[in-house]
Structure 1
């Protein structure tokens, strides 16, 4: 292990230990003195996750209920067929799959890429002139074909012959040059219409970006079951809703998966270290979040259930769903999704829920 990594680990454990010590209130809390080390050696829970899950404020007997992302993803990989993984991983292929099965998803208008067309339904564009024919005046969203966690994404607004993107303005040739530079890091840029949240969600966030639902399903026998769902809530001018352990500044809201009601919201008080706290209202807009009923919830559940049934040998999925004024649309399917966001949102571990439902 590199010296810099050793220093980082020691720093993390020092911060976790400070949090643990500050949580001691009575004699029965004395076990917290060695809490972060015990969580790591007994359950594989690292220093940052110890703070993320607020384990110092959680009964010790419940610590073992918390799952760690990477070992769980290894289990997902072992039970998911290569074909199913490829459909979910390849954004273009997933769109074509949804198109063929009548599943509502955000359209892919084109791919900006140097690669030749593969004969599918998505046009491949490799010149400014070809791109100009697709980008009529309006708003668009671009993302790398191999991207995740919102990295490399940007919005575009076309007004006449002027293009506005990522703090820039220019001609189609200048914009195409920007896209070409982005292709150094991905094989293609996906071009989609920019989506907007349902008015109920916009009233809360008043944000430019799209706040999406993460709804996780499992296949148990011949049935699809929802095991948890949450709303990633944008704060400020961010284009993406990623929670990223609270470091993004965004919020995560637990959803009653039966009704679609927001039953609790959490945020981190720090961007550099997870210091989770409960939130009742949006910090930017002041709008109350807890108790809000998400629109089209029955349709959300029906949509992901239909999508999950359509991909055989896919046993669990974290679906990203956008709720718009016209109803829900699937943004992406994630077969190796992180479990931490559900554990943060619901303030509980998911070991039992996974063990009971993820049966192959």
Structure 2
């Protein structure tokens, strides 16, 4: 694994490096040191302070978001020496990453290497856009008339979400997978049943024998599908199999109890989508926004298509992402995180049509996420993962820290325009947000949600 990571770095295949980093386990002191060094170099792609000319030609709300995000990231680091070193290393690191990434991606970007390299450097200086994000977000292919400063970089994600998502007890309801399923049930949302939960090395809920069917195992504290496992049931021998591993019921339960986790039945996608997803379960990421007025609005949606031989549909794990027209439910051409793989109007393995295909039960899926967000009235934005099954939409999970890169790279444009900019302006710290928060947290006589997992006091 260490050699594969190093080889990916040397050829500036940062997508593959990050896939290996997230899917593998660090081994020994050497790789851990390299990972920390790389992480700091990535930090050095952006300047830690707001220079006077940064973000000058973007919307005021985005200018404020960028500046507050830089300040928040400096405060979080808390080490002034490291911040100063980051500032000193910024010019050579930008030059290094811009050069290496342009050499790797120029042919796929469809523009001349020199023009791409110069624009990448110019945007780093003018907008503080990291060279890696210039390519990951497809800023070189931005819509005509759009400023690069309207893009929200993935490195700003955590800070921006903290700014626009005021502290609320309901965040724990969403982050804790076990609690979320209880809340979703109280809100009458269609969810995957939880067969068993495991905490502190023991099975805490779900007594009795496991159903003889395929099962899905997820760690409670993981994000982006990390650590998820699909266990196929084989009647011959009465065991479950994942890859080369075969376990009896007792063995599977012991395996699940090794970490805080949940066990669920495996779902299958709607028949019309299986030629895009195979046996894996793909989901639609639908982002909903709560306006300061309390209205729920859908921002954007992307269908995530799993890579072959991968149990999850995560974009970082090699899957494809196809934007969904929110009005019609029709798909546009899909993209991969690795720019060199190109765009796909047809599935690269099955040849099935992607662009123009309609997502089944689309209206029902939108109604489900809007109803769910209306019930979580303290949360300003949510990224919902919804599976489309033969019986309709099923909520897999909701995320308060939804992915900026996925929505912009697959969606074909920046977040910081139109609906998002108008919504963000209402939730930035100030009088407007204070009034909206007071309204959201006022006592009401509507449905009361019990956030406690079933079986707890």
Match of 2:342 among 270, 277, 281: 277
Q: Cα gap change, 1:7/1:314 in structure 2, threshold over 3 Å: closer, same or farther?
A: closer
TM-score normalised by the chain length of structure 2: 0.67
Give the secondary-structure state (helix, strand or coil) at the position aligned to 1:77.
helix
Is residue 134 of structure 2 the alignment partner of residue 68 of structure 1? no
Report what 1:88 is aligned to. 174
Taking the aligned partners of 2:106 and 2:333, their CA distance within structure 1 comes to 27
Which of 190, 195, 205 is equivalent to 2:262? 190
Paired residue for 1:147?
222
Moved more, 259-268 or 321-330: 259-268
Residue 108 of structure 1 aligns to a residue whose secondary structure is coil
Contact 1:154 1:166 in 2 (8 A): no
**Shift in CA distance, 57/219, structure 1 to aligned 2, threshold 3 Å:** closer
Question: Are 2:241 and 1:164 equivalent residues in the alignment?
Answer: yes
Partners of 1:99 and 1:6 lie apart in 2 by 42
Find the aligned partners of 2:39 and 2:375 in 1 and give their Cα distance.
43
* Residue 115 of structure 2 corresponds to residue 49 of structure 1: no
Structure 1 position 290, deviation (Å): 0.4
Say how many residue pairs are matched. 334
Q: Summarize deviations over 1:298-345 as a string: whole Å, max 9, x none.
A: 000000000000011111111000000000011111011111111111
Cα–Cα, structure 1 residues 4 and 204, in superposed 2: closer, same or farther, change >3 Å? closer
Distance between the aligned counterparts of 1:137 and 1:226, measured in 2? Answer: 38
Query: Do the aligned partners of residues 298 and 7 (structure 1) sit closer, same or farther apart at CA in structure 2, a change above 3 Å counting?
Result: closer
Question: Is 1:18–2:109 an aligned residue pair?
Answer: no
Shift in alpha-carbon separation, 1:345–1:21, aligned structure 2, 3 A:
closer
TM-aligned CA distance change 1:218 to 1:5, over 3 Å = closer
Closer, same or farther in 2 for the Cα pair 1:75/1:84, shift >3 Å? farther
2:300 pairs with one of 224, 228, 232: 228
CA distances 1:277-312 after superposition (whole Å, capped 9, x unpaired) = 221100110011100011000000000000000011
Query: Structure 1 residue 20: deviation in Å?
Result: 7.8
CA contact 1:20–1:35 (8 Å) conserved in 2: no
The 2-side partners of 1:310 and 1:97 are apart by 9
Of 229, 238, 255, 2:324 maps to 255
Q: Deviations over 1:58-116 (max 9, x none)?
A: 45853112111343432322333331211110111111111112111111121022378
Structure 1 position 235, deviation (Å)? 3.0
> Unpaired segments of 5 or more residues in structure 2?
1-32, 46-92, 428-457
Contact 1:262 1:294 in 2 (8 A): yes
Question: Which residue does the alignment assign to 2:289?
Answer: 218
Aligned to 1:120: none
Counterpart in the other structure of 1:101: 187
The CA distance in 2 between the partners of 1:104 and 1:329, in whole Å, is 5
Q: Which residue of 1 aligns with 2:256?
A: 179
* 1:329 lines up with 2:404 in the alignment: no
Q: Secondary structure at the match of 1:192?
A: strand
Q: For residues 164 and 18 of structure 1, do their structure 2 counterparts lie closer, same or farther at Cα, with a shift above 3 Å needed? A: closer
Q: Provide the rounded CA distance (Å) in 1 between the counterparts of 2:352 and 2:111.
A: 34
Looking at structure 2, the residues matched to 164 and 24 of structure 1 have their Cα atoms a distance apart, in angstroms, of 44
Counterpart CA distance in 2 for 1:24 and 1:325 is 40
**1:106 counterpart SS class:** coil
Q: Contact 1:65 / 1:351 at 8 angstroms: preserved in 2? A: yes
- What SS is found at the alignment partner of 1:173? helix
Please give the alpha-carbon distance, in whole angstroms, between the structure 2 residues aligned to 1:4 and 1:250. Answer: 24
For residue 156 of structure 1, give the secondary structure of its aligned residue in structure 2.
strand
1:301 to 363, 366, 372: 366
Distance 1:138 1:3 in 2: 44
Q: Distance in 2 between matches of 1:141 and 1:174?
A: 15
Higher strand proportion (structure 1 or 2)? 1
Distance 1:193 1:318 in 2: 23
Q: 1:201 to 1:354 in 2, by over 3 A?
A: same
Mean CA deviation greater in 6-15 or 314-323: 6-15
Structure 1 equivalent of residue 124 of structure 2 = 40
Structure 1: gaps (5+ residues): 118-122
The answer to whether the Cα contact below 8 Å between 1:281 and 1:290 also exists between their aligned partners in 2 is yes
Distance in 2, matches of 1:163 and 1:45, equals: 47
In the TM superposition, what whole-angstrom CA distance separates every residue of 1:144-193 from its partner, at most 9, and x where no partner exists? 00011111111123345323234311323332333344x2xxxx111111
